[in-house]
Amino acid sequence: MNNPIRIGTRDSQLATWQAQTVSNKLQEAGHSTEIIFVKSEGDLDLTTPLPEMGGKGVFTKALDDALLANKIDLAVHSYKDLPTENPLPLKIAAVLEREDPRDSLVSPKGTDFLDDDSIEAVIATSSNRRKAQWLHRYPNHTITNIRGNVNTRLRKVEENEWQGAIFAAAGLKRINLDHHISEYLDWMVPAPAQGAMAVMIREDDAEAYSVVSELNHTETALCTSIERELLNEMEAGCSAPVGAFAWIDGNDLILHAVALKTDGTLQYDIELKIPSDQAEGLGRKAARELLEQGADKLVQEMKE
């Protein structure tokens, strides 16, 4: 590409880090780049709980619009923020290698409360998936809403009387804030594609595709596609309490997924293993099995 490649991103520290990472990789490949900042609805409204704002699209629509208006050549996203269905003439050209996919607990006053059933702790998260899994494990705790970028949420958890807040480990690690992590939540099933970055381009931009597709990490792309396939098959958007994580073990791909009632009182889970070269469709298969177990009632509950 003759002109600098225009990389669109939100202006939070984490989003900027992600865009800069893509920029650096493109520059290493011999391309010139420039970063263009775009404000999203999710950045401007920091009070409405995410599920009430319509879930995934609140962080991506402004970047989609900028792409379609040819103001940018590509957009860098946290892959988990992208809707599983995209009716627009846009496509993902690359999925970068995944960072730590786990959720983590930031608890400035320590985690002793986790071992004391008598403490009715307050934990902050705006994610229904995290809320449901936390309440399933700690039914006597209360969940409170928290919004804002990583730095804002870290400040809020310091200032409030909560016992802790839940963060994606990847976001904290990427901007060198993982020293705030009190505990990794290995038991919590992450959001589909958590920890991965996706690069979106216009569908008809063959030149951008030839450049950006070089950044694709095959294993991450396969695993995240299976996780998102499950989410799509369950008709579960960003606000639904569904977790899915796929990983490669030798020649096999393993998928672990959960679906929960928002209050944590019901949980359905499944784990499937298949040779990784036969993994296509595994997400849909796992979703159908979860729905047959009874998770269809949970998805319906979210729609009502």
Say which of 73, 81, 100, 205 is annotated catalytic. 81
Which token pair is 19? 């865009």
* Burial bucket for residue 77 (CB in 10 Å: 0-12, 13-18, 19+): buried
Q: Exposure string (b/e) for 137-158, b if CB count within 10 Å is 16 or more?
A: ebeebebeebbbbbeebbebbe
Task: Give the contacts of 155 (CB within 8 A, at least 6 positions apart).
Answer: none
Which sign does the torsion angle of CA 91, 171, 237, 233 carry? positive
> 81 catalytic, yes or no?
yes
Q: Which backbone phi and psi does 168 adopt, to 5 degrees?
A: -70, 130
> Which residue, among 237, 25, 12, 243, has the nearest Cα to 147 in the 3D structure?
12
**Which residues are catalytic, by number?**
81
